Amino acid sequence: MRTYAEAAGAARLSPCDGAYVLDWPDDDPRKVRFAVVADAISLLADSARLERVHVCPGRDCGWLFLNRSGRQRWCSMATCGSRAKMRAMYARRLQER
């Protein structure tokens, strides 16, 4: 919460798609950190989006991800999903022998 308070204090309101958003000067080195914490706070305030937050079941992962499609299972198909599918394929091939 302290970082969000710092972000809000350093922000300016900028017009965006008929509304206003928090924005920070491009030369502020904290801009990315502030944008991430502001997005996290807005996610926590939106129960419909919060229901779509899941923990990745990938081995040794534990990342959180926003499941927009309702079908997403892993944080990333390129890493956790691919590894899980390869393990499952390997296990099936072992059973076939």
For residue 70, what are its two tokens? 């309702």
Strand partners, 12: 23
Model pTM above 0.75: no
Q: Is 74 exposed, middle or buried (0-12, 13-18, 19+ CB in 10 A)?
A: buried
59-94 pLDDT per residue, tens: 999 899 999 898 999 999 999 999 999 999 999 999
Given a cut of 90, is residue 28 above it in pLDDT? yes
Given a cut of 90, is residue 35 above it in pLDDT? yes
Q: How confident is the model at residue 96 (pLDDT cuts 50, 70, 90)?
A: confident
- Three-state DSSP class for residue 1: coil
